[in-house]
Chains A and B, each alone.
Chain A
Amino acid sequence: MEGMEILNALAVFSNYVLVPALTYGSQLALGALGVTLIYGVLRFSNFAHGDTMAFGTMVVILFTWLFQSWGISFGPLPTALLALPFGILVCIALVLLSDKFVYRFYRRKKAAPVIFMIASMGVMFVMNGLVRFIISPKDIQFRDGERFIIKAREFKQMFGLDEGVAIKVTQGITVVIAIVVVIALFWFLNRTRTGKSMRAFSDNEDLALLSGINPDKVVMITWMIAAALATIAGTLYGLDKSFKAFTYFMLLLPIFASAIVGGLGSPLGAIAGGYLIAFTEIMLTYAYKKVAEYMVPGDEWEADSLMQLLSTDYKFAVSFMILLLVLLFRPTGIFKGKSV
């Protein structure tokens, strides 16, 4: 039956592209939001953001193990969610320390953004070493609880299709938490006095000072939010895939690509950029063989290749290419951020 074929194709596409890309896009969006807020308020590209994510996630893992040793669990949900608030707090503490001992010095000296960026690389190496030293550079799985919200087999039975869509608990959690966090963040930025003062400071620092807005407070709150976002993004990514210090360092590229594509300094842009990068990366590296076989009418047709545009080995090249194109043709990004 013709209609069934299309539904099957859609199911395959959802299972291998739509659901994973929504998940990965949410993780990138949360990471890019942190980068873009720091850029907007402190005016530099924070290269330590990937390792901030790693540090926060590491603390979450340590608390997860502690809770597990106490026999505490979160039912069908991962225990890591219970550990998340503690990870956020410790990560905030570390980031505020890095500001106190590194960035504040350069702020007093009114250093150029490039100096801040290089300082952030130093912070990156320190955080990276800290994480490897404390929890090892190895690959770590810390997911527990139920694995699936819906299994492929259940999906097939439910809809009477040959192909199923599996949705993992970690994927569901990622999307739900990303939505909640983004709503909370936008409420804070647009509705509270402190949030508005952050936007004003990002807009025009001199005028903010003339209006009596306290720069130290704005900077502190920005770091706290960035650390919280980093820990959440890192934990969701680690639950969904796995935790490894090096992987988080590598995430810096797609995260920066997301923030820059969306327009540095623009929170809305960071979200759009996150999904754009995720969808492009996954769609360009997915093998469409099966989808095509369902879509082409007639039963016997078989694709003679995988129909894959790019090998998955090149997935980081995708971020890089998009980044290049944006910088060449629209340096301010989709949402007109600050030009880089």
Chain B
Amino acid sequence: MSFLTAENMTGGYGAADILHDCTITAEEGEIAVIVGPNGAGKSTAMKAVFGMLDIHTGSVKLDGEDITKLSPQARVAKGMAFVPQTNNVFPTISVEENLEMGAFLREDDISKTMEQVYELFPILKDKRRQNAGELSGGQRQQVAVGRALMTQPKLLMLDEPTAGVSPIVMDELFDRIIEVARSGISILMVEQNARQALNIADKGYVLVQGRNKFTDTGEALLANPEVRKSFLGG
């Protein structure tokens, strides 16, 4: 039994379905990666898992509990956190306030978690008084991930965390994400940089037109000639 099991999801934003019978799972402390061409429905699948989208068929289970009917806020309380692809920070409030807002639902002392986030992303500590909107792309992504970690989630969902950052910053971010997974948090991540992402993935999903095209370990997908040819550029 996986920690997250989103099974047979079918649904979309209105009249036409975007997802068709799509299944995504993530194991405890492991990294699951979704790759696929633009417009394949990767972001839509993430939103469906997080309850931001009506799916009329299928179910989402977290740690054995059926959460299909829960609102996104209720899912946050259950231990899920989501970093959207765009607009994932509060631009005109400070970095530290971004982290505080991430922990909005918590009633206990958040200073230790904040310290952990600063240990993971030391640059944020230096910039904690600066508005998040003034930071570079890579630093903003760190704020976004940091904000999501503030709820102490058991499942962290990242939609293209390395979009628009340099290769060096991307490697750096991937290292941090591995570190987060090592601490026992499950990661479900969408990535454009398919090759690098599958390299660190325990499990990979190739999504095409809202359907599961390939599902395997990251290693196996990287070795699969068909996947290489169509999705990894040879």
Q: How far is the CA of A204 from the CA of B133 in the complex (A)?
A: 12
Contact A203 B91, beta carbon cutoff 8 Å: yes
Q: How far is the CA of A207 from the CA of B90 in the complex (A)?
A: 8
Q: How far is the CA of A293 from the CA of B77 in the complex (A)?
A: 72
> Quick one: which of A193, A200, A209 contacts B90, CB cutoff 8 A?
A200
Contact A210 B72, beta carbon cutoff 8 Å: yes
A contact residues around B88 at 8 Å (CB)? 207
Given A209-B73, A212-B76, A212-B77; A199-B104 close (CB under 8 Å): no
Q: How large is the interface on B (under 10, 10 to 19, 20 to 34, 35 or more residues)?
A: 20 to 34
Interface hit among B11-19, B92-100, B177-185, B196-204 = B92-100
Q: How far is the CB of A266 from chain B (nearest CB, A)?
A: 9
Q: How far is the CB of B115 from chain A (nearest CB, A)?
A: 19
A contact residues around B102 at 8 Å (CB)? 211
- With an 8 A cutoff between CB atoms, is B89 at the interface? yes
- With an 8 A cutoff between CB atoms, is A151 at the interface? no
Find residues 183-207 in chain A having any chain B CB closer than 8 Å to their own CB.
193, 196-197, 199-200, 203-204, 206-207
Q: How large is the interface on A (under 10, 10 to 19, 20 to 34, 35 or more residues)?
A: 10 to 19
Given A206-B87, A207-B84; A196-B72 close (CB under 8 Å): no
Given A196-B93, A199-B92; A208-B101 close (CB under 8 Å): yes
- With an 8 A cutoff between CB atoms, is A213 at the interface? yes
Q: How far is the CB of A339 from chain B (nearest CB, A)?
A: 14
Find residues 56-86 in chain B having any chain A CB closer than 8 Å to their own CB.
72-73, 76-77, 82, 84
> Quick one: which of A200, A208, A210, A213 contacts B84, CB cutoff 8 A?
A210
Contact B101 A211, beta carbon cutoff 8 Å: yes
> Quick one: which of B50, B84, B87, B101 contacts A196, CB cutoff 8 A?
B101
Identify the closest chain B residue to A189 (Cβ). Answer: B93
Contact A200 B101, beta carbon cutoff 8 Å: yes
Known: A199-B92, A200-B90, A204-B87. 6 other contacts (CB 8 A): A196-B93, A200-B93, A203-B91, A210-B82, A211-B76, A213-B104
Identify the closest chain A residue to B103 (Cβ). Answer: A211
**Chain A contact residues: helix, strand, loop or mixed:** helix
A-B contact count (CB 8 A): 57
Identify the closest chain A residue to B92 (Cβ). Answer: A203
- With an 8 A cutoff between CB atoms, is B154 at the interface? no
Q: How far is the CA of A212 from the CA of B152 in the complex (A)?
A: 13
- With an 8 A cutoff between CB atoms, is B147 at the interface? yes
Given A207-B84, A212-B105, A213-B101; A199-B76 close (CB under 8 Å): no
A contact residues around B104 at 8 Å (CB)? 193, 197, 211-213
Q: How far is the CB of A64 from chain B (nearest CB, A)?
A: 40
A contact residues around B98 at 8 Å (CB)? 200
Identify the closest chain B residue to A213 (Cβ). Answer: B104
A contact residues around B50 at 8 Å (CB)? 210
Q: How far is the CA of A193 from the CA of B92 in the complex (A)?
A: 16
Q: How far is the CB of A227 from chain B (nearest CB, A)?
A: 25
B82, B88, B98, B101 interface centre (most CB from chain A within 10 Å) = B101
Contact B76 A210, beta carbon cutoff 8 Å: yes
Contact A197 B84, beta carbon cutoff 8 Å: no
Q: What 0/1 pattern do residues 201 to 234 of A give for CB contact below 8 A with B?
A: 0011011111111000000000000000000000
A199, A204, A209 interface centre (most CB from chain B within 10 Å) = A204
